Structure 1
Amino acid sequence: MKKSLLGILLFLFSFILLSQNSFRLYHQGMPLINHDSLYFYLDSSQYTVEYMLLGIENISNTDKNVKVKKNEILIVPGSENTFCWGMCYTSSVYISTKYITIQAHTTNNTDFYGEYYPKGNLGTSIIMYTFFDINNPDDSVSVVAFYIATPVNTENFDLCNNYSLYPNPSSGKIYLKKSFTNEAIITIYNPYGIKVYESLIENNEIDISMLSDGLYIYRILVDGEIKGSDYLLIRSNK
């Protein structure tokens, strides 16, 4: 599972567009960057269900007819996922058959939610949801949801957060969310999987000023064990 995560995150880069678009997503009232990641920690009970609600804002000057598609990047066998947009679909539907019109400079906070059912199966499912203009599918915005089903969810939540980096996007320096006494090493790869940086993490900070603007994947090892892996967007202030 850990070895496959790097390949999965590399796969995400093929979807990432940095150009301006007409939409902005919100989760719990907070704005998201395009292709942002959201993490949901839940018990793996047969009867557990996780709901992900999103708001989508049309930031353009014209009304947009919007559809939603899902991309199952990694799915735990035996789990199930669905979404609602205009109507609620079965798990076999990947693109909504209905569109919803979002008027210029307004936000739809009520019509989309994703559902994830672990059905007693442990593991992480990764699903990308993309909202797009039906008249211009390249005009889109996406979010990547990590549904993490464990026997006990709170400890895993704290662990993952501790080994994540901020700020992201970033320039200059990035930081671990929590300091550790154990030896920690960060390795950064470009979108082709080539290692471009590796360093011992000292004083809870990493200098990335030598890296060019763009998208990267980082991996954090503590005592030789992978503790965190995600993508990192570097944007300079030049």
Structure 2
Amino acid sequence: MKKTLLTFAVVLLAVFSMNAQDLTLSWEGEALGDTVVIIGNPSNFEIVFHAVVHNNTNSGLQIKVRRKRLSMVENTTSAFCWGLCFPPDTDESVDSRLIMANGSSTDEEFSGHYTTAGQIGISMVEYTFFNADNEDQNVKVVAKYWAGFDGIAEDAMNGGSISDIYPNPATNYVSVDYNMPAEVNSAKVSIVNLLGAVVKESVIERSSNKLTMDISELEGGIYFYTVLINGDVYKTKKLVIQN
């Protein structure tokens, strides 16, 4: 009896493990985990997120998309496209789309659209991609739409300058050149991963004109870096790490 139960448990575990890998997601060539951060400017009409769906099975699958709004900044809206584009009040794609065996959707086939309404803040939307014939075959991702102004600290930087991070893409080190005016009381550079977590942070010292950060311990992938001046955002841009 114990042997039978053990065999059943192993088979069940194998089935769940297989299903968990049947569908995967990527964004700009990078595999996605459970969460992705998309940074944009609230002065823009919308922030857009694209994902590619990968079918890792030996059979073609009819894939649908379900959206769930987890938390939304007031007055903002969310919509999505899966081949066709749907209005904000639609939570599930009407039709499925065939992804061939061991194939993928196109770069433009899925897009999540977040209308900022000029609001600063983070809204979270969950997207579930699932087999219309077997919902156990699915993959989910939570998109954190992060709307924040660049250039809020521009007045403090009047007469000063700060470069973009370089090199970009980077491997072991990144640097920033700068000239800090007297109005700047504090400045720092933060590197954020796609989960929205700060993974590296360094203070910009007035006594120097160059900051170098060791990023050799960070895994290769897509990150964002933010320059904060007197506690306000001066710039936010993408950083690619290759190692």
Q: TM-score range by the shorter chain?
A: 0.5 to 0.7
1:124 counterpart (122, 129, 132): 122
Identity %: 26
Going from structure 1 to structure 2, the CA distance change for 1:107 and 1:119 (only over 3 Å counts) comes to same
- For 2:112 and 2:40, locate their aligned partners in 1 and report how far apart those are by CA, in whole Å: 14
- For 1:69 and 1:89, locate their aligned partners in 2 and report how far apart those are by CA, in whole Å: 11
Q: CA deviation at 1:178?
A: 3.5
SS at match of 1:20: helix
Q: CA deviation at 1:139?
A: 0.9
Which residue does the alignment assign to 1:212? Answer: none
Mapping 1:64-79, distance limit 5 Å: 64-79=61-76
Contact 1:22–1:58 (CA<8 Å) still a contact in 2? yes
Mapping 1:176-187, distance limit 5 Å: 176-178=199-201
Deviations 1:94-147 (A, max 9, x none): 110110010100111231111111011121100111100011112101111111
Which residue does the alignment assign to 1:235? Answer: none
1:151 counterpart (134, 149, 152): 149
Q: CA deviation at 1:153?
A: 7.5
Which residue does the alignment assign to 2:183? Answer: none
- For 1:154 and 1:64, locate their aligned partners in 2 and report how far apart those are by CA, in whole Å: 47
Q: CA deviation at 1:80?
A: 1.3
Contact 2:190–2:201 (CA<8 Å) still a contact in 1? no
- For 1:153 and 1:57, locate their aligned partners in 2 and report how far apart those are by CA, in whole Å: 38
- Structure 2 length as normaliser, TM-score? 0.56
Query: Can you give the 5+ residue segments of structure 1 that lack an aligned partner in the other structure?
Result: 1-16, 166-175, 181-238
Query: Can you give the 5+ residue segments of structure 2 that lack an aligned partner in the other structure?
Result: 1-15, 154-188, 204-243
Q: CA deviation at 1:20?
A: 2.2
- For 1:95 and 1:48, locate their aligned partners in 2 and report how far apart those are by CA, in whole Å: 23
1:161 counterpart (183, 189, 192): 192
Mapping 1:37-186, distance limit 5 Å: 37-45=35-43, 47-109=44-106, 110-152=108-150, 159=190, 161=192, 164=197, 176-178=199-201
- For 2:68 and 2:104, locate their aligned partners in 1 and report how far apart those are by CA, in whole Å: 23
- Structure 1 length as normaliser, TM-score? 0.57
Contact 2:20–2:139 (CA<8 Å) still a contact in 1? no
Computing the radius of gyration over CA atoms, which structure comes out larger, 1 or 2?
2
Matched residue type, 2:32: L
- For 2:24 and 2:66, locate their aligned partners in 1 and report how far apart those are by CA, in whole Å: 16
Contact 1:41–1:153 (CA<8 Å) still a contact in 2? no
Deviations 1:24-61 (A, max 9, x none): 1110011223x2x211222212x421111111110001
Which residue does the alignment assign to 1:27? Answer: 27
Give the length in aligned residue pairs: 151
SS at match of 2:95: coil
SS at match of 2:192: helix
Q: CA deviation at 1:177?
A: 2.6
Flag as ranges the 4+ runs of structure 1 deviating above 6 A: none
Matched residue type, 2:38: F
- For 1:44 and 1:138, locate their aligned partners in 2 and report how far apart those are by CA, in whole Å: 37
SS at match of 1:108: coil
Going from structure 1 to structure 2, the CA distance change for 1:139 and 1:86 (only over 3 Å counts) comes to same
Matched residue type, 1:125: S
